[in-house]
Structure 1
Amino acid sequence: MACVIRCSRRQKICCGVTAIVVILLVVVLVVLFLTVFKPKEPIIIIQPVKLEGFVFVASPDSKLELNVTLGVVATVKNRNHGSFTYQDSTATVSYRGSLVGEAPINGDTVPDHGELNVSTSLAVQADEVLKNGNFRDDYFNKGVLNFTSASTLQGKVKILKIIKKKATSLSTCYVSVFVKTNTIDTTCQNKLEF
């Protein structure tokens, strides 16, 4: 004997309306996550650099050592609907492929649609820059020294205080120091990976 379930007309209408509402809700959520809540790269703006330390040492064995410490402030603008919490990291600076400096980056949280000023001291080993065979041509003839700064921030993105995703923010900045005018031009490329 087969069991037959009979539904009243009201039950069928209620189930149909519920199914339509659920489908619309799913479509709206998918559209929101593909547009509004889609993760965007942070904007990093390097503020004017200040000189914090200058050490020139001539050792008895005729070896010259020159180290420069720069105060760097970077403003990180988070364009996402979620906060980004990152761990301690290190930024590196290179001149024509040679590592010439490092700067510690302390872990912190950038709030959603907020800004955070990240301050650090960058120790540039100027004697490494001077040893480079291209330094004289760059400094005297071209009048510009080009540096590359790279940093990787690993952390978590929290969207709507519910969804947590591991994320890595990769930042590469190209810094041109113009010798004659004592000015700096900075261009940064940022990428957020999940």
Structure 2
Amino acid sequence: MANKGLKFCLIVSLLFLIIVTIVIVTLFFTVFKPKDPNITVHPIGLEHFDFSLLPNITANVSLGMVITIENPNYGSFEFTNSIGYINFHDTVVGEVPIGAELVPAHGQINVNTWANFMVAKLISVPKFWSDVLSGTLNFTSTSSLPGIARMFKIFKLKATAYSSCNISLRIVPRNVDTKCISKIKL
């Protein structure tokens, strides 16, 4: 009789374990599936302009910006210091330092930073002057934010958020349009 009770208890426990496993796997692949962050770039204005004639002609410009990172996931994401790069016709013409931050679950943060443009390098790109005459300068920016994703303060996974933005600077109306595509990779 004790053997029958033990077998019944074992079968019920095994079924319960299978059901719990199925529920957890289903939740992981549906509700808790990592979603890509939403990243937008908002230029603020000119912060620094440095121009010198000697010994060589150099010019550097810093453009202030706010990067908004929205996390639609159930887990928080903490990333380390990173550098984003700004390209003009496949030539790196600027760098954007991005300080370490924590993006809470279902939250958003604003990161204040600046873009350091290397004007001499920008002007040396063959298509620069034709783009200036057309009235629009098109840039692309890329960044990767390595860090740790935490779910319920229990699970920790290494993750990297990648972002690629198209930036159109219209010279005459003096406005900037940005469109970013972001991905997270665990």
Q: Structure 2 length normalisation: TM-score?
A: 0.91
Alpha-carbon offset, residue 135 of structure 1: 1.0
Structure 1's consecutive aligned runs of 4 or more residues displaced over 6 angstroms after TM superposition are none
Deviations 1:45-72 (A, max 9, x none): 112331111223233x6x4322211111
Q: Give ranges in structure 2 of 5+ residues lacking alignment.
A: none
3-state SS, counterpart of residue 183 of structure 2: strand
Q: Tell me what 2:13 maps to.
A: 18
Aligned length: 186
Alpha-carbon offset, residue 19 of structure 1: 3.1
Q: Give ranges in structure 1 of 5+ residues lacking alignment.
A: none
User: Where do residues 147-166 of structure 1 align in structure 2 (5 Å cutoff)?
Assistant: 147-166=139-158
Q: What is the alpha-carbon distance in structure 2 between the residues aligned to residue 77 and residue 6 of structure 1?
A: 58
Q: Tell me what 1:35 maps to.
A: 30
Paired residues of 2:162 and 2:183 also in contact (CA < 8 A): yes
Q: Tell me what 1:7 maps to.
A: 3
Q: Tell me what 1:76 maps to.
A: 69
Q: What is the alpha-carbon distance in structure 2 between the residues aligned to residue 41 and residue 181 of structure 1?
A: 33
Q: Does 1:47 align with 2:53?
A: no
User: Where do residues 178-189 of structure 1 align in structure 2 (5 Å cutoff)?
Assistant: 178-189=170-181
Larger Rg: 1
Q: Does 1:115 align with 2:108?
A: yes
Paired residues of 2:86 and 2:95 also in contact (CA < 8 A): yes
Paired residues of 2:43 and 2:63 also in contact (CA < 8 A): no
Q: What is the alpha-carbon distance in structure 2 between the residues aligned to residue 176 and residue 79 of structure 1?
A: 27
Q: Which amino acid aligns with 1:66?
A: A
Alpha-carbon offset, residue 183 of structure 1: 1.1
**Root mean square deviation of aligned Cα:** 1.8
Q: Structure 1 length normalisation: TM-score?
A: 0.88
